[in-house]
Structure 1
Amino acid sequence: QFDPLKVDPYMGDYEGEYLAVGRDPVPADAKVIAEGSDTYRVMISTKAVHDVFWSPRIEITGRRTKEGMQLEGDSSGLTWEGQIKDGSMVARVRSRYGGTFALHHVLRESPTAGLKPPKGAIVLLPFEEGATPDMSEWDNSTWKSLADGSMQVGEGDNHTKREFGDVRLHLEFCIPYEPEGRGQDRGNSGVYFQDRYEPQVLDSYGLIPRAGDCGAIYEIAVPPVNACLPPLSWQTYDIVFRAPRFTDKGDQSEFPWITVELNGVKLHERQWITHSTVGGKEGFVAKGPFRLQDHGHPVRYRNIWAQELNIQQ
């Protein structure tokens, strides 16, 4: 049930070319986003190339049929039509003057998926393909240990039994396929540092990034680009967190900061956090647990490890 191509053979990324009369082919890519009831949002654009005569970027509709997917819609002042079948996409201008996208389906992966913990790291959720993971580092036994090596969200949030200050965290997550959902009701979870500061986990594939989307520090910092993979893909967070600082008298003297990479793309670098995010505990502490959020969606996690740090600046 977790093979993306078996669940939905159309959803995901495509690469290829844009072809126009009398011009060299221009590299292009597309994203196909499932929206339920056999309908899809299809975003197609050319990649930045020096001296490109025109850089089309269109958004049209896909409708699933017995023969494949039919594409249609008006975008950029033109009427488009086409189809997706057997992993190939063709979208053309409905006009004698031409203009055609020809692309094929590709599977993108995070470059840090499966990253091994360094020497001395604390393994919070070990990962071995085909083996149920040991969940003894976590305090919520209602979460499910699955045979694919992952842990699935259960009833209530899940905290680590250990607490951390300065830390590097590697974590992998898989968003469920929920095409009928919209906004925050689509594969929602979250990773809280010190039970207070949340990098968001959400199905934000194909969206313009906002402060509540995947890769955001929730309602504090918007990701500059959308680095998300399609749902059912294994995605990665690689995060460095510097805890708040305190004086000898125990007064908080510096805010925490966080550096966030999603699927190998750096989204935030030393982003200061001046308050807890929504749903986080109030106040500043030197150490606190990680918390994985239950937001009512069967998000899965695997290969979680933490490396304690002593950041001097």
Structure 2
Amino acid sequence: MKTRLVATALLVGSMGAAVAQTAPPAAKPEDTEVYTPVPPAVTPGKTSSDAPSDALVLFDGKSLDQWTSTDNPGAPATWTTTGGVLAVNKGAGNIQTKRSFGNYQLHLEWRVPANITGTGQARGNSGLFLASLGKGDEGYELQILDSYNNKTYTNGQAGSVYKQIVPLANPTRKPGEWQTYDVIWTAPTFAPGGTVATPARVTVLFNGVLVENNVALQGPTRYIGKASYGAPHGPSPIKLQAHGDKSEPLSFRNIWIRELPAVGQ
């Protein structure tokens, strides 16, 4: 009996030693420290409105070299530039960037005249198309409108994803004052068969106020009917709309963009 007890004790002891040998080492703080990849250094602008060092300036107050006619791609954009300001030329139609973009951060400032007239949608109407899909008003539109004490349908006021998503707030300044859009755009992706893999998403700060919080878009803008996705597409130009209403022309300035990697990269 004594011999059996000794053997059992030895067996239990050897099993315990084996367990102790295979136990994972104690966790250390450096186990969760990551050193690569190293983010690139970016020099910020002097203010939050100024372009950082890695931005592409789309309008510097002088040149329209980054823009072309939407109706006649390759032809010069013939809107008016005076005193560092870009004014809509309604007779020339929409303009869009020569380059196409996927995901990006965009800064843009716009202004309706102090002497603006009209009501509702006929009061300083324009649009920032986050991805232009062709001539006319095809694409995904972030609405531009004088929404200071100007009643209209709420999914058509400034800061709305036009005819889709009502903004969370209305921080519009008075006519004659500059308004600011800061946009984070995530382009849609499509499966090999053409179906939507991930919808477009957008975050918008309007005069520093969050009005669209990473919302998913139902598809490109439609004036009549619900938005839905059609043919798949890749990176696209950014478009500014010449709406054609009777309001005095809108103005733009200080437009810059930072391209962002695809989600997950």
TM-score norm. by structure 1 comes to: 0.58
**Aligned ranges 1:90-109 → 2 under 5 Å:** none
Tell me the distance in 1 between the aligned counterparts of 2:47 and 2:163. 27
What is the count of residue pairs matched by the alignment? 196
1:193 and 1:290 in contact (8 A); partners too: yes
1:211 alignment partner, SS class: helix
**2:67 pairs with 1:138:** yes
Give the drift of 1:114. 7.0
What is the aligned partner in structure 2 of residue 193 from structure 1?
130
- 2:100 is aligned, of 163, 176, 193, to 163
Percentage of identical aligned residues? 35
**2:198 pairs with 1:254:** yes
What is the aligned partner in structure 2 of residue 103 from structure 1?
none
2:184 alignment partner, SS class: strand
- 2:222 is aligned, of 278, 282, 286, to 278
What is the aligned partner in structure 2 of residue 151 from structure 1?
86
**2:156 pairs with 1:221:** no
1 or 2, which has the higher helix percentage?
A: 2
Q: Give 1 or 2 for the bigger CA radius of gyration.
A: 2
2:188 and 2:199 in contact (8 A); partners too: yes
**2:255 pairs with 1:304:** yes
Give the drift of 1:178. 4.6
2:252 alignment partner, SS class: strand
Tell me the distance in 1 between the aligned counterparts of 2:230 and 2:112. 28
1 or 2, which has the higher strand percentage?
A: 1
2:101 and 2:236 in contact (8 A); partners too: yes
Give the drift of 1:115. 1.2
Residue segments in structure 1 that go unaligned for 5+ positions in a row: 1-111, 128-132
1:207 and 1:226 in contact (8 A); partners too: no
1:158 and 1:291 in contact (8 A); partners too: yes
1:122 and 1:307 in contact (8 A); partners too: yes
2:159 and 2:167 in contact (8 A); partners too: yes
Q: Which structure ranks higher in relative contact order (CA pairs < 8 Å, sequence separation ≥ 6)?
A: 2
Give the drift of 1:246. 2.7
1:113 and 1:172 in contact (8 A); partners too: no
Tell me the distance in 2 between the aligned counterparts of 1:210 and 1:121. 33
Tell me the distance in 2 between the aligned counterparts of 1:231 and 1:244. 34
Q: Can you list the C-alpha shifts for 1:68-105, whole angstroms capped at 9, x where unaligned?
A: xxxxxxxxxxxxxxxxxxxxxxxxxxxxxxxxxxxxxx
Tell me the distance in 1 between the aligned counterparts of 2:115 and 2:156. 18
AA aligned opposite 1:167:
Y
Residue segments in structure 2 that go unaligned for 5+ positions in a row: 1-45, 70-76, 133-138
What is the aligned partner in structure 2 of residue 118 from structure 1?
52
Give the drift of 1:120. 1.6
1:211 and 1:220 in contact (8 A); partners too: yes
Tell me the distance in 2 between the aligned counterparts of 1:198 and 1:176. 22
2:116 and 2:124 in contact (8 A); partners too: no
2:64 alignment partner, SS class: coil
AA aligned opposite 2:144:
V
What is the aligned partner in structure 2 of residue 11 from structure 1?
none
AA aligned opposite 2:105:
R
2:204 alignment partner, SS class: strand
